[in-house]
Amino acid sequence: MTIRSCKKIKGEVSLQDPIGVDKEGNELYLLDVLGTEPDEVLDEVDLKIQVKKLYEKMNKVLKDREKTIIQLRYGLLNGGCKTQREIAKMLGISRSYVSRIEKRAIKKLNKALSVNK
């Protein structure tokens, strides 16, 4: 089975493009060969698109301190989530102030993301 040569040249391949036929003469699609459920592949692609939008909005609407707190709190930098107390100690502010900044940042992100729907 090979993917159409014109698609190789472009570097873009659709999951719904036919790539050959099976023993019974039915067309095979790339999505069939991947070995996962079609919904899982589409969900993964959708998740990556949403994550990209989130990072764009974070850079656009959040102040530096808000962005830092959200990144540390939810493990967006290195995958390790930190508690509000740990973040407060790192930044030299109170835990309650971290909580207020986090809530404000989440409201801003929610508003920015819901505007584009």
Q: Which residue has the tokens 């971290």?
A: 98
Q: What is the pLDDT of residues 53-102, one digit of tens each?
A: 889 999 999 999 999 999 999 998 888 899 999 999 999 999 999 999 99
Report the alpha-carbon distance of residue 12 to residue 5 in Å, rounded: 11
Report the alpha-carbon distance of residue 107 to residue 78 in Å, rounded: 23
What values do phi and psi take at 34, rounded to 5?
Answer: -60, -25
Q: Mapped to the 3 state alphabet, what secondary structure does 47-78 carry?
A: HHHHHHHHHHHHHHHCCHHHHHHHHHHCCCCC
**Structural domains present in the chain:** 1-35 (no CATH), 38-115 (1.10.10.10)
In this structure, the number of other CB atoms found within 10 A of the CB of residue 97 comes to 15
Q: What is the pLDDT of residues 29-60, one digit of tens each?
A: 776 666 656 677 778 888 888 889 889 999 99
Q: Which residue has the tokens 């993301």?
A: 113
Q: Which residue has the tokens 């962005």?
A: 67
